[in-house]
Amino acid sequence: MSQLVNLTIDGKPIQAPEGANLLQTALDNGIRIPFLCYHRKLSPTGACRMCVTRIKGQKGLVMACTVQVEEGMEVTAFDDELESARKRTLEYLLAEHNEHYDGTYYDEFWYWIQHYDLDIPENRHYPNIYRQMHYPVDDTSPILSYNASKCIKCFRCIKACDEVQGKNVLSFSQRGIASYIVAGIDHWDDSECDGCGECVQLCPTGALVEKPHREEINLERVEKTVRTTCPYCGVGCQLLLYVQNGKIVRADGVEGIPPNDGRLCVKGRFGYDYVAHPDRLTHPLIKKNGTFEKASWDEALDLIARKFSEIRKRYGTQALGGYGSAKCTNEDNYLFQKFIRIAFGNNNLDYCTRLCHASTVTAMLKSLGSGAGSNSIEDFAQTDCLFITGNNMIETHPVTATFVKNGQYKGTRVIVCDPKWTKMVNYADIWLQPKLGTDVALLNGMIRVIIEEGLIGRDFICNWVDGGMEAFEKLREKVSGYTPEETERITGVSPDKFMEAARIYARSATAMIATGMGLSQQQVGTNMVFSLINMMLITGQVGKEHAGIDPPRGQNNVQGVTDIGVSPINFPGYIPVGNQDNRRKLAQLWDVPFEDLPDKPGLTTVEIMNAAYDGQIKGMYIMGENPMMTDPNLNHTGESLQSLEFLVVQDIFHTETTPYADVILPAASFAEKEGTFVNSDRRVLRVRKAVEKPGLAQEDWRIVDQIARRMGYNVGQYENARDIFEEIRQATPILAGVTYDRIEHEGLQWPCPDTSHPGTPTLFLEGFKTSNGLGILNPVDYTPQTEPASPEYPYVLNTGRMLYQYHTSTMSRRNKALSDFANESYVLMHPGDVRANGFRDGDRIRLSNPRGQLQTTVRSSQQVKPGELFMPFHFREALVNKLTRSDLDPDSRIPPYKFSACKVEKVEMSGG
């Protein structure tokens, strides 16, 4: 905390931190000095000249936004001269301003025009000349419209793009009175604008207005605004939803609170249309003679209860299984896992984390005792070095990436390790581009460099690592073979690059690691993360502020669903199912006989499918998941689902999985219910109801509760989500101190063991969560892939996500803005390979291997290496998981989505 200084504004004594902005200080103290170009998040511009003040001892009028407060400062904010100067300034702006207002945005400029009575034409001195200026309109972007005749040239949009989002897409064109904003070369749609809309949110006039729903929205008719948490990725951005006619018509970022401080990405801001989409499921559906027919809740629930009970009775408790959902709230999932454990009587329950972060979590649990990210989102802007590996965060966690860019601008050294080009490469000091699947060798090579050059943290190893220097010697031995030459031979990365990267990481005062799917979705995913953690432990880049390892969670509530126990091996709070004390405690809390709570680990996601295929699992309950798109080797998954006797799918839309169901249940979307999500930095965030559920749809937890009741089990008595959360607190020690009241304004980070605990922004400051509090080194060797490229299948296919679509795109493709940006499948191929195969950019090609085949469009791009391909997995027209395999990582049971050999051929168009 910096020192406080005393000043007066209009005679009012004020205390403020030394160096604080004078305008902000005035505003914080209720003195409303007019301003237009200033914004709390941006560096001061001093363009609009509205915030002029007089400071004793200084000549002339001083713009408050450009001044820092000092001890003894005497400021005059309002007197006749200042007010008349402001009025004159406004009048000049008004003379070249298009005054037309359509009610679709909040106009700060017009507020001050009215304040100074300039809306009355008689009070003005100058004629309006905006028509003579022929100001352009750029209407080409899918998400916004720029009208230069309403622009007051305040720089807020340019600075929003540069300083907040770090994108640098906007500039002024021309000069003086003729100047206006351009994106790229004066054509918004061709520019690199990715549609985050930060500029729209910060525009003080209507020069930049968002396009979606422009026809319907009218701010005067907006019924309410609701604060909630974004339903897309795991950043957990706080949204303000505008509701008009019972429908969401706009989403803004909530300013001033973590994690996003008003920032959003294109999905968060423009991706809410799906909530009101006509495709929403509105009635329970029962399959009769092969077709789905509408049914009442009673009919559907009775059928489900009867079938599940029959299966349990006939085949035993192990014949049932369920998938929870990272898209649903903690409350929904808590009840779901309680239901599986009590009503199914087993631990055959899992969810998508198995397909994303199982290997990361497994490695982190073994080495550090906790699988959660160690830092807070703000730390990405404050660490000295960030090692980003297998993590395309500009597309998958765009708002986290903005903090990285902010840090990079201030001097964070950024190292990107990715076999495919990502936008973050543009911000990186070094880009390491290893061959697919060779990360262990690269990391071992880097560890060897760190050891050879004496860059290890000896004290840290002695005090924080299990086995101390002895354990370290074992690691040194293990990596000794990874000489720079050998590492280069395996990975294809030149030694000067990875040696420099190793030095930067080890020497930085603080360094963080952002890992991701690139490392985890591998056949040796756990080993890859082990080697990453080894590097972190020997350099001591953990256990202090702004250091550690962070695997950003892919979905909004991946973190929470694991926390509250949707896991085949853990009860709520990461307590192993075999822990008898906890089992006893839970049995009491849940009011069930101790011996009825299953203590044997259950089957994982892909294992449940395999068991279904083998006839061991007969009935399944899938809540908000779409395995027919996300599981590897989809043809096999289809056969597995087909061999089930009874399948219930609960979702908000028909998905690729619903055709296999016997009963489909309509659920409520994020905007239609109360509850909580937990984001990637372990922050428990509120989800609030904004609109009504369509048709007969119900909250997931209410449906689960009903099924349990009809099966004859009691999973609790709850009035609302808050009641369930109260029970979650009792079952989950790390969340015990979190209450709805405490997170009303902003989220709390677990562990938070009691209600007076302030939450934990950084993990491991007082040791690791292992049994003895020490970190464990796990030396590992590089192992070659079991399915390398071969003469018959010469290409290696990598899969991943893109900015504009989201996972199985059930939600995202039902938004016009997102689909306008990107709505088609493609495969990236190196230009040399494109030529060698006789393809041209844009050709339709077929990818195939023994597991399946698909057709897609080839995009010639140097973003991938020769011999490697990249495809997004969002598109049902080209189901990339028909090609991926289910050869699971032995430690974590994660499938290797990032590595499948395949061949390519041109699709000949029929009919000429």
Distances (CA, A) of 501 to 152, 439, 449, 472, 511: 45, 14, 10, 21, 12
Binding of residue 767 to another protein (CB under 8 A): no
Least distance in angstroms from the C-beta of 437 to another protein: 22
For residue 677, give the H/E element and its range: strand 675-678
CB of 223 to another protein, least distance (A): 34
In 324-470 the beta strands, taken as DSSP E runs, fall at 349-350, 385-389, 413-417, 430-432
In this chain, which stretch among 190-198, 467-475, 559-567, 882-890 interacts with another protein, using CB under 8 A?
190-198
Interface residue with another protein among 380, 498, 782, 821 (CB under 8 A) is 821
Burial of 47 (0-12, 13-18, 19+ CB in 10 A): middle
Q: Determine if 802 is a binding residue for another protein (CB under 8 A).
A: yes
Consecutive H or E run containing 298: helix 297-315
- 187 is a contact residue toward another protein (CB under 8 A): yes
**What residue has token string 């034409």?**
121
- Residue 250 in contact with another protein, rule: CB under 8 A: no
Q: Is 824 in the site for another protein (CB under 8 A)?
A: yes
CB of 167 to another protein, least distance (A): 9
Cβ atoms within 10 Å, residue 531: 30
Residue among 168, 317, 382, 770 that touches another protein (CB under 8 A): 168
Residue 552 beta carbon to another protein: minimum distance, rounded to whole angstroms: 17
Which residue's CB is nearer to another protein, number 579 or number 863? 863
Q: Among residues 179 and 739, whose Cβ is nearest to another protein?
A: 179
Task: Report whether 159 contacts 43 (CB < 8 A).
Answer: yes
By CB under 8 A, tell whether 804 contacts another protein.
yes
* Non-local CB neighbours of 271 within 8 Å, separated by 6+ positions: 231, 232, 806, 811, 812, 815, 817, 818
Buried/exposed code over 4-27 (b: 16+ C-beta within 10 A; e: otherwise): ebebebeeeebebeeebbbbbbbb
Position 461 contacts another protein (CB under 8 A) = no
Write the CB contacts of 778 (distance below 8 Å, at least 6 apart in sequence).
363, 366, 367, 530, 533, 534
* Selected binder of another protein within 41, 47, 83, 184 (CB under 8 A): 184
Question: Is residue 136 part of the contact set for another protein (CB under 8 A)?
Answer: no
- Residue 177 as a binder of another protein (CB under 8 A): the answer is no
Instruction: Name the minimum Å distance from CB 871 to another protein.
Output: 11
Q: Are 506 and 450 in contact (CB under 8 A)?
A: yes
**844 binds another protein, rule: CB under 8 A:** no
**Residue with Cβ nearer another protein (472 or 873):** 873
Cβ closer to another protein: 715 or 871? 871
Closest distance to another protein from the beta carbon of 268 (Å): 16
Q: Name which position in 394, 440, 504, 519 contacts another protein (CB under 8 A).
A: 394
Residue 637 is encoded by which pair of tokens? 């998954």
Q: Could you tell me if 690 and 241 are in contact, meaning their C-beta atoms sit under 8 angstroms apart?
A: yes
Residue 344 · residue 608 · CB < 8 Å: no
Select 773 or 832, whichever has its Cβ closest to another protein: 832
Closest separation in Å from C-beta 35 to another protein: 25
DSSP result, 680-730: TT-EEEEE---SPPPTT-B-HHHHHHHHHHHHT------SSHHHHHHHHHH
Nearer to another protein, 395 or 651 (CB): 395
The answer to whether residue 88 forms part of the interface with another protein (CB under 8 A) is no
Can you tell me which residue has the tokens 């021309």? Answer: 174
Name the CA radius of gyration of the chain, rounded.
29
Interface region with another protein, contact rule CB under 8 A, candidates 738-746, 778-786, 789-797, 821-829: 821-829
Which position among 102, 119, 139, 192 is part of the footprint of another protein (CB under 8 A)?
192
Tell me whether residue 615 or residue 842 sits nearer to another protein (CB atom).
842
The answer to the question of residue 842 lying near another protein (CB under 8 A) is: yes
Using CB under 8 A as the binding rule, whether residue 348 contacts another protein is answered as no
**Residue 608, Cβ neighbours under 10 Å: how many?**
27
843 binds another protein (CB under 8 A): no
Residue 829 interacting with another protein (CB under 8 A) = no
DSSP helix, strand, coil percent of the chain (3-state; round to 5): 35, 20, 45
Does residue 174 bind another protein (CB under 8 A)? yes
Is there binding between residue 861 and another protein (CB under 8 A)? Answer: yes
* Spatial distance between the Cα atoms of 802 and 860, rounded to a whole number of angstroms: 17
171 is an interface residue for another protein by CB under 8 A: yes
Distances (CA, A) of 215 to 104, 105, 210, 218, 268: 9, 12, 11, 9, 20
Q: Which stretch binds another protein (CB under 8 A): 104-112, 148-156, 621-629, 858-866?
A: 858-866
Helix/strand/coil for 815: coil
Tell whether residue 822 is a contact of another protein (CB under 8 A): yes
Contact residues: another protein, CB under 8 A: 168-175, 182-187, 189-192, 194, 394-395, 421, 423, 426, 802-804, 820-824, 826, 828, 842, 859-863, 872
